Every structure is written in structure tokens, then in C-alpha cells.
Structure 1
Amino acid sequence: MFRKVWRNKHTRYYLLGGGISKLGDVLSGMAFLFLAYDVTKSNALTTVMAIAETMPYLLFGLIGGVVADWADKRKLLIILDIVRIPLVFSVVCFYYLDLLSFYYLLIVSFLIQSIGCFFNPAHRSVLPAITPEDYRTAVNSINDSLSRGVKVLSPFLSVWVLNHYGAIHFFTIDTITYAVSAWCISRITINDQASVVMNKSVNNLFRSIGEFTHWAASHLTIRRLFLCTFITVFFNTWVWEVGMLLALSQLSKDSEALYSMLQGVFGGVVIVTNILLPFFLKRMSLLLYLFGSIIWGIGITYYGFVFEINHFFIGSAIVGIGLPIAGLTRIHLLQTLVPDDKMGRAFSTNAVLLYLSNTVSLAVYGFLVSFLSIRTLMLWSGMFIVCSSVIGLLVTMDSAKFRRRFTINLFK
């Protein structure tokens, strides 16, 4: 199956360009934080830099989806990659001219992430146009595996670059990856029939966002998918990004090394799960998404219930099975159920929900950790994910039974 996917020229260039570009994004994301701290020596200003990398998605995410639906996706993606090349490389130039300041880094970071708000939904919505539906699960699996693989390998590459050239050349690598991405996209032929024929004014832009919101709210599966995604990500974000590191700090002096090892184990299990899934599943449903969320929640519950370092690795492996099942199913459902002319808005809405859930989770848990133990927060977070997913599973199964009964009675 994977060989047939790779033989497709358009899919091959799509995956190569996306994987290489993702590597550059990961490295430059770290570099902005490294340089911000080097320039300011301030934890607070470094935190501001981190916020600058997420805030654009809350501000422009939905607008980016509309533009992705309106525009010629191939031209849009190439233009955005080309615009990012001088923007990122200017950081290197300013560094060597001794003109680099925190505020310039902040502006460039904000602009790069803002461009990503338009690039990412367009890039995601290209895949259904170049991939037959029977191979879509396999392509999604390879795409997600490449993204995970990049995150696993990037720490090793970053250490090598830091030791030999310095953090500034993360931006040099990122510049090259944007050029490679633009070239790969130029090699793709896209059957782009999704462009909306309408007056592309500001009023129609917001009307288009409202139109998709109304459509998504009236579509039962999409509505439940977005709701379940927000809930699951909310209860997972703090536990994995902050809670796990704090827990390891309580249990060991080598918390950072252990956390890196956990990330490696988690990434490895996710990649293996991604590779195996297409051999067993070609079509996916909301029931499978909820099943994956249950496994995901069980892994987090296991963290809190046992709360020992060795068992954190087992819990990470369990989450590494459930998360890709849920993640790949969510992508497949959006690609399958959303009309072509709404695809960009679907993926931008999904991204906005993820970033909003992340932000709210960090804020709420940051307050709760002052009163509750890390173990309690982990345990209850996992249980909430499991319970909400089980309820969603039962409701969805009951709805399916009701529809079948109604259809049978109607034609008696």
C-alpha cells in the first residue's frame, strides 16, 4: 500500500515538501526562544515570545481557512513559502550586523506564524485533491509519521547545529526548507475546484466564516467531532506539556533527560501505530475517534493512578496508541465529510479549536496546580477524557440505532 502511495508523483512531492518544511518550523520555533532568552536574559520576555508563536492562530486562524477556500491553493502555498524565505533569513543578517533585538525577533515570529495561519489550512486541504479516497488513510498516516519523526529527530539535529554553528543557523536551515517546500509544491498538479465564486470582500469573508460555523453546527458528526476534540485536548495539554515535567522533577533529579526519553518513547509508538493503522483500517468513523480517545484517556489515568517513573513510560506508550487513532480519524472525517469548498475553513477551525483548548488548559491548570497535587490533576484529567468519550460513544451508537430503526419503520 505504501509503495503505491509513494509512486504517485503528486503525493510524493506533497509529503517530502511537508516533512522538510516541518523540520524547519520545529528548529526555528526553538531558535526564537533560544535567541529571545540570549538577547534579554528574561524568563518573562521569553514567555512573551512563546505566546507570539500561538496567538496568531487565535487571531487569524479562521480567516486563513476562508482564504484557503477562495484562493488557488497551489499559487497561494508557493507565494507564502517564497515570502517566508527573506523574512526568516533577515534574522540571520541582522544577527551578523549586530542589529538583532528582541522586538525584531518578536515581529518576525508573529509574522511567520501569521503566514502559517493561511499556509496550513491550504496545505491540509490539498491532500484530498491529489489522493484517491482509498489511499487517504495511508497518506495521512505517512504525513503524520513524518511530522512525528521530525519532532523525534530534531533534538539530535539541534544539538549538532548548536555545537558546530550556533542557534542562529536554525534560521538558515529553515530558509532552505521553505525553498525546498516551494519547489515541491510547484511539482504538484492540483484539481482545485474548491474556489468559492463570490465577491471576495471583507464582509463576505466574515459571512463565509459564519456560513461554515452554521454548517458545522448543523452537521451532527462534525459538531460532535469538534466538541470531543476540544474536551480531549483541554484535559491532555497541561498534563503532557507541564504536569509530566513537574512530576518527574518531584521524582528524580534527571527530570529533563527523562522527559526527553519519554518524548522519544511516545514519538516511536505514535509512528509505529501510524504505520500499522492503514493495514487494518481504510475508512474511519466517529466511533473509532472516540475509541482512540478512550485509549488516550486510559494512558493519562494510568499516569496518575500509579505515579512512578517506570510506569510513566507505559502510560506514554498507551497514549501513543490512542492519540494517533483519534488524530488520524479526525483528519479523515474532515477530508471525507466536509465539501471541497469548505475544506480550508474546516482545517482552520480545527486548528483554532486546538490552540484555544491548549491556551485555556494551560491557564486553568496553572491556577488549579496551586491547590491540587499533580497526581490528582493527572488522574482526574484521564478519567474525564475516558468518561466523556464513553458517553460520546454510547450517544453516537444510540443515534445510529435510532436512524436504522426509523429507516426500517418508514419503509414498512
Structure 2
Amino acid sequence: MYKSIWNDKNIRFYLIGGGVSRLGDVLSGMAFLFLAYDLTESAVYTTGMAIAETAPYLIFGLVGGVIADWLPRKKLLLFLDCLRIPLVFSVVVFHHFDVISYVYLLIVSFLIQSIGCFFNPAHRAVLPQITSIAERNMVNSLNDTVSRGVTILSPVISIWLLSYGVIYFFLLDALTYVVSVFCLSKVHFTEQKPQFNKSIKHVFLAIAEFFTWLKGQGTLNYLFLLTFMVVFFNTWVWEVGLLLALTDMTSKSKEIYSILQGFFGVTVIVTNLCVPFFVKKLNVIIYLIGAGVWGIGILYYGILYEIGHFFIGAVLVGVGLPISSLVRVYLIQSLVPESKLGRAFSSNAVLLYLANTLSLAIFGLLALVIPIQGLMVGSGLLIVLASLIGLLFLIRTPKKARSFPVNPPE
């Protein structure tokens, strides 16, 4: 099955281009932080650089979706990638002549991430245009597998590049955008006539129009709400809580945390590749099961709270997370009209970034008064309860369940 899909030229170049571009994004994200610290030796300024990498998605995320719906997506993607190449390469040039500054790095980082706000929803919205409904589940799995594979590969490449110098991160990043341009130029599909309006007023009207339409979409509203909740309860306990817990348990916390993340990444890849063979129709019920397994994983390593059990919990999270993610993407692709896909994916991204930001901020404060183990157990328990309540609601009230069309029309 995967072989026949890979033989499709459009899908092959789409996946390769997206994967290579994603690798460059991850490496440059680390490089901006490394270089910022090298220049300032300040945790505050380094944190400011991290904020510059996430803030654009909260500011321009929804606008990016509108533009992705208005403009021809292929031309937009090619233009944005071509724009990122000189921006990244300028860091190399400035560094070579020893005129690089923290402020310039901050500006370039902000601009590159802002471009991503427009690139990412457009790129996501292309996939339904080059696939049939029958093969979309499998292509989504491959796409997510490539992204997760990049996450595992990037630490290895970063260690290799650090032996030469941080600036080589940016050289490789510029090269990945060149490869992305080449791959995108090979992807061909038919697009609707663009509906571009130059007025800023029309941008906000388009956003308002999308959310007005969204009010009547029970499945998507439920999906977005539950996703926000699950991500909110997961982000801190997974990204920060585990590291802090390991720090209390062992002197090799960073090494074990890296191995744990790699273990998790491998589990996600295997799950992504297996899902299309075992689950033929992705729907809200499958989403709730995935979220439930995700929550059980957090609850498991929260209750047992030992290094060995952290790995078992990571496997459970690595099974539940991709199942929920694949269902969410598939339902957005299936239930949202092509003319609104960009805004749908940008809204989803803004929701995820907002959940991440709030989770880090609120749980960071709660950790001052509540033990890490308590936060893990509470988060996992709430995710599991929300999933169970949702499943019982759909199973016991079939009339209500009809308002959640679990199987999109062919």
C-alpha cells in the first residue's frame, strides 16, 4: 500500500519537500537559541529568542490561514520558501563579517517564524488536493511519520554540526529551503480561482466568516475543544515535568530525557505506519480512544513515578498521541470545504500554540506549590475522564451522536 502511494510523483515530492523543510526549521530553531546565548550569555535574552519563535503564530496564525485560502497555494509556497532562503543566509553573511547582533537575530527569527504562519496552513491544505479520500489516511500517516522522523534525526545532526560551529545550522537550513522549492515545483494540482482582496478589513471579515461557519460544525467544535484540553494538560508534564522529575532521580537526567524522547519518537513512527492497516475509517470515536490511551500513559508514569515506568508511559503516549493527531487532521480535511482549509489549519495551529503557552505558564506556577507527581496524575486523570465521558455520550445517546458525523461523506 505504501509503495503504491510513494510511486505517486505528487505525493512523493510533497512528502520529501515537507520533511526536508521541517528538518531545517527544527535545526534553525535550535541554532537561534544557541547563537543568542553565545552572543549574550543571558538566560533572559535566550528566553526572549524562544518567545520570538512562538509569538508570530499567536499574532499572525489566523491571518496566515486567510491568505492560504485566498492565494494560489503552490505559488504562495514557492514564494515564501524563496523569501526564507536569503533571510537565513544573511545570518551566515553577518556572522562571517562579525557584525551579527542579538537584535538582528531576533528580527530574522521573528520574520522566519512569521513566514511559517502563512506557509504551514497552505502546505497542509495542499494535501487534500493531491490525494483521494481513500488514500488520505495513509498519506497523513506518512506525512506525520516524516515529521516525527525529523524530530529524532535532528539531535544527531545537531551534535555533528556543533563540532563545526553553530553557523553551519543556518547553512543547512538555507539548503533545505532550496530543496523544498525544487520539490514543490514538481507538485501539480488544480486550484480554485483565487479570491484575493487587498483590504485589511477583508482579512478580518474572512476570519469572522470562518468562525461564524464553524459555530454550526458540531464535530469540529468538539474536536477543537477536546484537543485544546488534552494539549493543555500534556505539554508541561511531558516537556518540563518529566525532565524535572528525572533531575531529582538521577545525575544523568538530560541523557535519559533525550533517550526517552527518542523512544517516544520511534513509538509514534511505528504507530503512524500501522494505523492505516488496522483502522480503515477515522472518526470521533477513534479520536477519543486515542486521547484516552494518551491520558492513560500520563496517568501511568505519574502514579508509578520511576524511570523504568516513564519509558512504559512514553510508549502509551506514543500510541495515543498520533492516533488522535491523525484523526484530527483527517476530519479537518474531510469536513472543511477547500476554500476554508487554510483557515481551519491555521485556527488549529493557533489553538495548539495557545494551549502550549498557557500550559507552560500555568503549570510552571502550580509546580511551585504542587508536587510534580501530583500534576502528572491530575493531568492524566482529567484527560482519561474527558475521553471516557465523550465515549459514553456518543455510545449511549445515538440521537445526539448524529450531530457528530463520524464518517465523512465520500
> TM-score interval w.r.t. the shorter chain?
over 0.9
- Pairing 1:318–2:316 present: yes
Letter of the aligned partner of 1:12 in structure 2? R
Aligned match of 1:328 in 326, 329, 335?
Answer: 326
Aligned residue pairs total 403
CA–CA separation in structure 1 for the residues paired with 2:309 and 2:66: 45
Alignment match of 1:278 (pick from 255, 259, 276) = 276
Aligned to 2:346: 348
Contact 2:69-2:341 within 8 A present in 1 as well: yes
Question: Within 5 A, what are the aligned runs for 1:206-245?
Answer: 206-245=204-243
Give the equivalent residue in structure 2 for 1:142: 142
Q: Provide the alpha-carbon RMSD of the alignment.
A: 1.3
Deviation at 1:390?
1.4
CA distance in 2, matches of 1:102, 1:189: 41
Matches within 5 A, 1:269-308: 269-308=267-306
Aligned position for 2:407: none
1: distance between equivalents of 2:105 and 2:73? 29
Counterparts of 1:92 and 1:278 in 2: how far apart (Å)? Answer: 43
8 Å CA contact 2:296–2:384 kept in 1: the answer is: yes
Query: Does the 8 Å contact 1:196/1:341 carry over to 2?
Result: no
Question: 1:16: which partner in 2?
Answer: 16
Cα distance in structure 2, aligned partners of 1:396 and 1:375 = 32
State the Cα distance separating 1:201 from its structure 2 match.
2.0
Matching residue's letter, 1:136: R
Alignment correspondent of 1:72: 72
| CA distance in 1 between partners of 2:52 and 2:280 (Å) | 38
CA shift, 1:392, in A, is 1.9
Q: Show structure 2 runs of 5+ residues with no match.
A: 404-410
Show CA shifts across 1:303-335 (max 9, x none). Answer: 110000000000000000000000011000000
Pair 196,212 (structure 1): closer, same or farther in 2 beyond 3 Å: farther
How far is the alpha carbon of 1:298 from its aligned partner? 0.2
Structure 1, unaligned runs of 5 or more: 406-412
Give the CA deviation at 1:48: 0.7
Q: What TM-score does the superposition give when structure 2 sets the normalisation length? A: 0.96
- Residue number in structure 2 paired with 1:89: 89
| Post-superposition CA distance 1:252-273 (Å, at most 9, x none) | 1100000001001100000000
Per-residue CA deviations over 1:210-267 (Å, capped at 9, x if unaligned) read 1111111210000000000000000000011100000000111100000001001100
What is the CA-CA distance between 1:85 and the residue it aligns to? 0.2
CA–CA separation in structure 1 for the residues paired with 2:295 and 2:401: 29
CA contact (8 A) 1:80 1:119 kept: yes
- Farther-moved stretch of structure 1 (213-222 vs 84-93): 213-222
Separation of aligned partners in 1, 2:59 and 2:26: 21
Structure 1 residues 391 and 103: alpha-carbon distance in aligned structure 2, compared to 1, 3 A threshold: same
1:72–1:192 contact (8 Å) kept in structure 2: yes
Question: Is 1:365 aligned with 2:363?
Answer: yes
Which whole-Å CA distance do the structure 2 matches of 1:215 and 1:263 have between them?
Answer: 39
Aligned equivalents of 1:181 and 1:399: distance in 2? 48
Q: Is the 8 A contact 1:226 1:350 kept in 2?
A: yes
Q: Report the Cα offset of residue 397 of structure 1.
A: 3.2
- Aligned-pair identity (%): 57
CA contact (8 A) 2:394 2:401 kept: no
Query: Following the alignment from structure 2 to structure 1, what is the Cα–Cα distance between the partners of residues 394 and 263?
Result: 33
What is the aligned partner in structure 2 of residue 167 from structure 1? Answer: 166
Counterpart residue number, 1:176: 175
Per the alignment, residue 195 of structure 2 pairs with 197
Q: Distance in 2 between matches of 1:22 and 1:346?
A: 21
Equivalent of residue 391 in structure 1, options 364, 389, 392? 389
Give the letter for the 1:146 counterpart. V
Alignment match, 2:408: none
For residues 182 and 194 of structure 2, the distance between their equivalents in structure 1, rounded to whole angstroms, comes to 26
Match of 1:153 in 2: 153
Report the equivalent of 1:410: none
In 1, the alpha carbon distance for the partners of 2:261 and 2:384 equals 22
Change (3 A) 1:198 1:263: closer
Partner of 1:34: 34
SS at match of 2:189: coil
Asked whether 1:250 is paired with 2:248, we answer yes
Structure-2 separation of matches of 1:228 and 1:404: 18
Q: Is the 8 A contact 1:135 1:282 kept in 2?
A: no
Q: Secondary structure at the match of 2:342?
A: helix
CA displacement at 1:191 relative to structure 2: 1.7
Partner of 1:53, secondary structure, is helix
Deviation per residue, 1:153-192 (Å, 9 max, x gap): 11111111111x2111100000000011011101111221
Normalising by structure 1, report the TM-score: 0.96
Whichever residue aligns with residue 328 of structure 2, its letter is R
**Which residue identity is paired with 2:69?**
D
Shift of 1:200: 4.2
- Superposed displacement of residue 4, structure 1: 1.1
Question: 1:408 is matched with which residue?
Answer: none
